[in-house]
Amino acid sequence: MDFKLSQEHLMARDLFRSFAENEVKPLAQEVDEEERFPVETVEKMGKLGFMGIPIPKEYGGQGCDYLTYAICVEELAKVCGTTAVILSAHTSLCQMPILHFGTEAQKQKYLVPLAKGETLGAFGLTEPGAGTDASGQHTKAVLDGDEYVLNGSKVFITNGYYADTYVIFAMTNKDLRSKGISAFIVEKGTPGFTFGTKEKKMGIRGSATYELIFTDCRIPKENLLGKEGQGYAIALDTLNGGRVGIAAQALGLAAGALEVSAAYVKTRKQFGKTLDRFQNTQFTLADMATRTEAARLLVYKSAWEHDTDPKNDGTASSMAKLYAAETASYVTNRAVQLHGGYGYIRDYDVERMMRDAKITEIYEGTSEVQRMVIAHNMLK
Amino acid sequence: MKIVVCIKQVPDTAGGVKFNPDGTLDRSAMLAIMNPDDKAGLEAALRLKDEYGAEVTVLTMGLPKADSILREAMAMGADNAILVTDRVLGGADTWATSQTLAGAIRNLDYDMIITGRQAIDGDTAQVGPQLSVHLGLPLVSYTQNLKIEDGYVIAERLFDDRHHVLKVKMPCLLTALSELNEPRYMTPGGIFDAFKAPVTVWGRKDLKDTLDSDLGKVGSPTQIAKASDKVRKGAGTLHVAEDGSEGAEYILAKLKEKFII
């Protein structure tokens, strides 16, 4: 057993780290403050191949493994939670289902430009009445000639409005419940596909979170992803991989807050000495560091399992997502505490990191859902 | 067009310079990076490749661990990599280094050689110019904005306050500055490909038309007696002269005060 990253992964980490420091960090505060989608960063990441890291080269990707992708998300999240989730949703939630379930024609038409970063992707599963219980879909798709007609709406869609390609779930047979759900590829600009409210969020405020509305939206029959009725299985498979991405985002937020805090306590003086001389500070940092490292091991292991055992039961990614998300919330909370009053001020990165961390316990499966998955797999 | 770029692995001085008790650099205590001027030279070569089409070969002399900067160069877009490594080449000064690189380059077809202006560990700026002498090539140092025209390179040669535009026939040797450009990032897939790609490893026996007496420590006319960190310049003072003669008097008085005149 070897816990060392390979030379390739180490060099890739250096690349992601230097990109994050030079290109992403300088914008992080502004993007949050102004709730601005960082278009220019997404464009740069596209040109460098970051938008298609685990996609095979024949489909325009970089042909790297899932671990490399997870390390990329981690390094981005260390400085900007927004940028990390844009890349994660694009990669895990839009490209992976097309890669796993798409026809060759769909891959050529949609996956290639997504992987090259020429287009942006999003995923629409959640509805006002179908969050954790995703099987309660109200969006309908009815076959009419050579087209499916979509009606309904999706909420909380990451990369909404800015994305060009959407993987959308809808009921094709209500009687079959979850087995009656199908997945579709929908292009932005299709008549009948519009955007509703842009959500005002607590954290990851630069990422665009929109409502998608489908009103007699006609999409060609060939845009059915997988088979009719296979949608729920596609969603579960996609979310299993997506959890690795969000777990990596959570890990990055924790690691970023830890790094900033460790530097801060060496400079801040109280009672005539720097904060790092106080045992309370040392113990707090030790706990933060230990949990962050434990999260890293779970995240890397789940990424590794994604590469080596694609048919895994999802326990590893659920554990990684559960633990990393709760660690992100814990570590960023402690980071604010170590910063004292300054930590509560928006000029300091840890304030943003704490707000960004909370969502990792909620989206792409709440912590409660992760516990359900882990327990279900244990007890079946 | 074939371009050879000479690159060197150097200790990263960004985090401070560390010394051994004997005054030599403690390389093991510092991170190893691609020398910044060399990276600018590589970027210049890759831009020529993008614009005109070129085969870019990176060449380094060093320890086997210098392999990592060759991989990095390939992940940025270099096509081939050569590592010259041999115990007998150790302890080389600029003369022996340039002789070694010349011996390696004599095996290659090339239209242009690019080196960095100088390495951040030695700061000599001698290897590039020496290499041009050994190979009998015209040299343009401190270059930027390279263009190709009918077998000639049009290069801007930088001075403190201006630049000259020079036209030089290929083959030629150019030296590059880190101020010259912003080197590109690697790509993730490029990194994994670079580690699968072969690196040609040459030793003493592969160096062409090179004398043993010009190589390694034996072939090095200079030895480092002691190395130290750069002495930083003081902040200085600003004197606004009333007129020319008052200014001259002020300078003369200062020079006398310091016993310079």
In a domain, B245, yes or no: no
Nearest to A49 among B68, B72, B188 (CB): B188
Q: Which helix (H) or strand (E) holds A213?
A: strand A209-220
- A351 carries an active-site annotation: no
Chain B, nearest residue to A61 by Cα: B189
Number of domains in chain B: 1
Indicate yes or no: CB of B188 within 8 angstroms of CB of A57: no
Nearest to A62 among B72, B188, B195 (CB): B188
Q: Which helix (H) or strand (E) holds A170?
A: strand A165-171
Chain A, nearest residue to B192 by Cα: A8
Question: Which residues of B are less than 8 Å from A8 in CB distance?
Answer: 191-192, 195
Indicate yes or no: CB of A7 within 8 angstroms of CB of B195: yes
CA distance B82 to chain A (A): 19
Query: What's the rounded Cα separation, in Å, for the pair B80 and B197?
Result: 8
Indicate yes or no: CB of B185 within 8 angstroms of CB of A72: no
Return the number of other C-beta atoms located less than 10 Å from residue B246's C-beta: 12
Does the pLDDT value for residue A139 go beyond 90?
yes
pLDDT at B161: 80
Query: What's the rounded Cα separation, in Å, for the pair A300 and A306?
Result: 10
Q: Which helix (H) or strand (E) holds B148?
A: strand B139-149
pLDDT at B92: 87
Question: Which residues of B are less than 8 Å from A64 in CB distance?
Answer: 188-189, 192
Indicate yes or no: CB of B189 within 8 angstroms of CB of A12: no
Residue closest to B239 by CA, chosen among B229, B225, B249: B249
Does the pLDDT value for residue B160 go beyond 80?
no
pLDDT at B45: 97
Return the number of other C-beta atoms located less than 10 Å from residue A164's C-beta: 17
- C-alpha Rg value of chain A to the nearest Å: 21
Q: What percent of chain A has pLDDT over 70?
A: 100
Does the pLDDT value for residue B224 go beyond 90?
no
Whether residue B189 lies within 8 A of chain A, CB to CB, comes out as yes
In a domain, B255, yes or no: no
Summarize pLDDT for B116-127 with one digit per residue, the tens: 988 887 778 889
The pTM of the full predicted model, rounded to 2 decimals, is 0.91
Mean pLDDT of the B34-38 span: 93
Whether residue B197 lies within 8 A of chain A, CB to CB, comes out as no
Q: Which position among A23, A75, A127, A364 bears the catalytic label?
A: A364
B 113-172: CB under 8 A from A:
none
Indicate yes or no: CB of B189 within 8 angstroms of CB of A11: no
Mean pLDDT score of chain A: 97
Mean pLDDT of the B81-91 span: 94
Return the number of other C-beta atoms located less than 10 Å from residue A143's C-beta: 13
In a domain, B121, yes or no: yes
CATH code for the domain in which residue B179 is found: 3.40.50.620
Summarize pLDDT for A337-359 with one digit per residue, the tens: 999 999 999 999 999 999 999 99
Residue B24: which pLDDT band, with cuts at 50, 70 and 90? Answer: low
Does the pLDDT value for residue B231 go beyond 70?
no
pLDDT at A131: 83
Chain B, nearest residue to A68 by Cα: B188
Does the pLDDT value for residue A195 go beyond 90?
yes
Domain that holds residue B149: 2-214
Summarize pLDDT for A279-331 with one digit per residue, the tens: 999 999 999 999 999 999 999 999 999 999 988 999 999 999 999 999 999 99
Summarize pLDDT for A28-85 with one digit per residue, the tens: 999 999 999 999 999 999 999 999 999 999 999 999 999 999 999 999 999 999 999 9
In a domain, B47, yes or no: yes
Mean pLDDT of the A258-271 span: 97
- 3-state secondary structure at position A281: helix
pLDDT at B91: 85
Q: What percent of chain A has pLDDT over 90?
A: 96
Interface A:B, Cβ pairs < 8 A: 47
pLDDT at B105: 97
Query: What's the rounded Cα separation, in Å, for the pair A170 and A181?
Result: 6
Summarize pLDDT for A147-176 with one digit per residue, the tens: 999 999 999 999 999 999 999 999 999 999
In a domain, B132, yes or no: yes
Question: Which residues of B are less than 8 Å from A62 in CB distance?
Answer: 187-189, 192
In a domain, B254, yes or no: no
- How many residues belong to chain A? 380
β-strands A140-144, A147-158: how paired? antiparallel
Residue with tokens 């327990």: A375
Q: Which two tokens stand for residue A346?
A: 């928006």
When scoring B72, B184, B187, B199 by the number of chain A Cβ atoms within 10 A, the one with the most, hence best to mutate, is B187
Indicate yes or no: CB of B188 within 8 angstroms of CB of A50: yes
Question: Which residues of B are less than 8 Å from A19 in CB distance?
Answer: 185
Indicate yes or no: CB of B187 within 8 angstroms of CB of A63: no
In a domain, B170, yes or no: yes
CA distance B188 to chain A (A): 6
Does the pLDDT value for residue A334 go beyond 90?
yes
Which of A107-111, B11-15, B145-149 comes out lowest in average pLDDT?
B11-15
Chain B, nearest residue to A67 by Cα: B188
CA distance B189 to chain A (A): 4
In a domain, B230, yes or no: no
β-strands A181-187, A224-225: how paired? antiparallel
